[in-house]
Structure 1
Amino acid sequence: MLAVTAADHPAPGPDRPAPRPDGPVAVLANPTAGRGRHRGLLPRLLDRLAESGRPVRLLEAGTAAEAEVVCHQAVADGIAALVTVGGDGTVHRGLQAVAGTAVRFGPVPAGTGNDFAADTGFPADPLAAVEVIAAALRDGRSRPVDLARLTGPDGATRWYGAVLAAGFDAIVNERANRMRFPRGPRRYDLAILVELARLRPRRYALRLDGRPLDVDAALVAVGNTASYGGGMRVCPDADPTDGLLDVVIGGRFDRRTLIRVKPRIYQGAHVRHPLVSTHRARTVELSAEGITTYADGERALALPVTVTAVPGAVRLLR
């Protein structure tokens, strides 16, 4: 799926159509997620969902922008639930449509990075995850979890479920997306090398629930859940049910320090480094020059942005 930079749809709210109790389950599947390794599972996943006793409707989309359009249209048509089959990027597209509505949501992890599904308690195996979702559909069961709402100065809005990257990782992603070669994972590896050579702390201006904080930093992440990048626990204590955002700031790292600290993020041990600080807030205002943020691994909005924790913004089929 291709990345989009801003929402073309109004923010969800109480005026959005309510789901029909007898409505179908819509499925957004990304066949290229996880380099296509789960492509052959889709018919079995759809059959398992149909066993919940509800009609299943597979949504057709060729691009990320189309995916968001068809998800919004499905919600407007009165679906009872939306299920995504893919990674965090596919989840991100679906969340734009269901956030703030009563439409229930189920992520089937089938991508390279499945951080939102993992951090909200879904099994890593796609078939096991769809069994959990189908059982919740049969039983009429769901549970609310928080989302983060990202707003730009022009009013553009994005929702995300996992982590907003606004430092070195976002800069690397932006460079990798501008590169035409090499293809595959090597492009990202090359982007890391280029940005490591150019590494310099940036000046950030933050307001945490109105409290100002100005820092020089190389790493800034705002987490609704703990992980990004396929299991990197950058905000290790983030809880998507506490109504708060976790902010992790890695200060004036030089190249050698960043290379040493980066592997520790997988265990969340980086927060013990003296150059790392952690904070919690309901609202985070974040500004810096020349940085485009990435939310759930997807290109989002350029700084400055305001990030707001929205309690119970999505109902998960668990």
Structure 2
Amino acid sequence: MDRDPKTMLVLNPNAGKGKGLKAFAAMRELLGRKIKTMEVRVSDYAGHAFQFGREAAKNGYERVLSVGGDGTPFEIVNGLYAEGRPQQAIDLGMIPAGTGNSFLRDFSAISWRQAVEKILSGRRRKVDLVEITYQRDHKEIRQYYLNILGVGLIADILKLTNEKLKGFGSLGYSLAVLMRLAKGMNNRMRLTIDGEKLEIVDSALVISNSKFTGGGMKIAPMADTQDGRVDLVIFQGVNRRDILNIFSRVFKGTHVSHPKVKTCSAVEVTIDSSPQELLMADGELLGLTPLRLKVLPAELAILA
């Protein structure tokens, strides 16, 4: 009889305002019956899941399951790769229980039940992982992401939401958009996209590995997690009216036809900017430009 892979489950009980804890209570018996080797770790604070990822890489775990939003697997993956590529392959299973849960939408796993079914079926998919380096406190930081990187405007909106508007729930994000737009756009970015140079002003962009962000926003409709490339969506030379018009179309993915939206795909990207721009990856605030990015094709096996 085949043995069960050594499995760690990382639970973020605060994901989705307690949604993670409720979901885990409902699924625990089913998972426990099917996965005899499962050990549960509870992520109590920001960065805790990173430590569990590092533990999994060091101690021979073969499978890590994440119960939370997009930020929980972000921490786990960065823990797995904290000392470089893990010595043995570690499968990642993601069970959505947060507010966004964007990445799994590419695999039609919107509910925790759908995700658990896919995990228990044992189906593995190799997906691309994106390596980035950026500035934080005058130091160069290397990290990895699965879903999306926001440069400038998108990261600013997240920062406003987290610092001032979290108590407003989903309305807080919309309020943050309006507050940020009141400041207008005033920047200059110099991009190198697979060796080709591009300079843009009064702009923002996202660099996506998958199609969705913020739950149902189809920010990069052409993105494919298995094509060895990231998709850039550039909001070029936009004013407040442009941004509002673009955001009104993003849930259907039709914003890419807007005349001030440019799209392309790449394997390697560098960005320098004046002033420095704030960065966000998978819902987590990071640091500042300059940024270097490269795709690691088929780097990570996920259960989906």
The match for 2:10 is 28
Offset at residue 205 of structure 1 (A): 0.7
Which of the pair is proportionally richer in strand? 2
The match for 1:226 is 211
Offset at residue 268 of structure 1 (A): 1.2
Separation in 1 of the partners of 2:155 and 2:94? 24
The match for 2:145 is 160
Count of aligned residue pairs for this structure pair: 292
Offset at residue 23 of structure 1 (A): 4.6
Query: What is the aligned counterpart of 1:263 among 231, 245, 248?
Result: 248
The match for 2:167 is 183
Offset at residue 167 of structure 1 (A): 2.8
Is residue 116 of structure 1 aligned with residue 98 of structure 2?
no
Q: Secondary structure at the match of 1:152?
A: strand
Separation in 2 of the partners of 1:84 and 1:38? 10
| 2:219 counterpart letter in structure 1 | V
| 1:35 counterpart letter in structure 2 | K
Query: What is the aligned counterpart of 1:205 among 190, 193, 198?
Result: 190
Cα deviation digits, residues 124-143 of structure 1 (max 9, x gap): 1202211210221xxxx422
Task: Calculate the TM-score normalised by the size of structure 1.
Answer: 0.86
Q: Secondary structure at the match of 1:114?
A: coil
Cα deviation digits, residues 58-100 of structure 1 (max 9, x gap): 1133112122112211221111101101111112112213454
Contact 1:46 / 1:56 at 8 angstroms: preserved in 2?
Answer: no
Structure 1 window deviating more from structure 2 (21-30 vs 240-249): it is: 21-30
Offset at residue 122 of structure 1 (A): 4.6
Is residue 295 of structure 1 aligned with residue 277 of structure 2?
no
Task: Calculate the TM-score normalised by the size of structure 2.
Answer: 0.89
Q: Secondary structure at the match of 1:132?
A: helix
Separation in 2 of the partners of 1:66 and 1:182? 21
Is residue 192 of structure 1 aligned with residue 174 of structure 2?
no
Cα deviation digits, residues 152-177 of structure 1 (max 9, x gap): 26441111111101131111112333
Contact 1:152 / 1:306 at 8 angstroms: preserved in 2?
Answer: yes
Query: What is the aligned counterpart of 1:59 among 37, 41, 50?
Result: 41
Offset at residue 231 of structure 1 (A): 1.8
Q: Secondary structure at the match of 1:226?
A: coil
Q: How does 1:1-318 map to 2 (within 5 A)?
A: 23-98=5-80, 100-101=85-86, 102-119=89-106, 121-136=107-122, 141-152=123-134, 154-179=139-164, 183-185=167-169, 186-288=171-273, 289-318=275-304
Contact 1:81 / 1:105 at 8 angstroms: preserved in 2?
Answer: yes
After superposition, the Cα gap between the structure-2 partners of 1:182 and 1:43, relative to the gap in structure 1 and judged at 3 Å, is: closer
Contact 1:98 / 1:314 at 8 angstroms: preserved in 2?
Answer: no
Identity fraction in percent = 29
Contact 1:22 / 1:80 at 8 angstroms: preserved in 2?
Answer: no
Superposition RMSD in Å: 1.9
Contact 1:284 / 1:308 at 8 angstroms: preserved in 2?
Answer: yes
Contact 2:129 / 2:299 at 8 angstroms: preserved in 1?
Answer: yes
| 2:94 counterpart letter in structure 1 | P
After superposition, the Cα gap between the structure-2 partners of 1:239 and 1:182, relative to the gap in structure 1 and judged at 3 Å, is: closer
Cα deviation digits, residues 229-278 of structure 1 (max 9, x gap): 11211111011111111111111111112111111111111111111111
Cα deviation digits, residues 84-118 of structure 1 (max 9, x gap): 01111112112213454410001001111011111
Runs (5+) with no aligned partner, structure 2: none
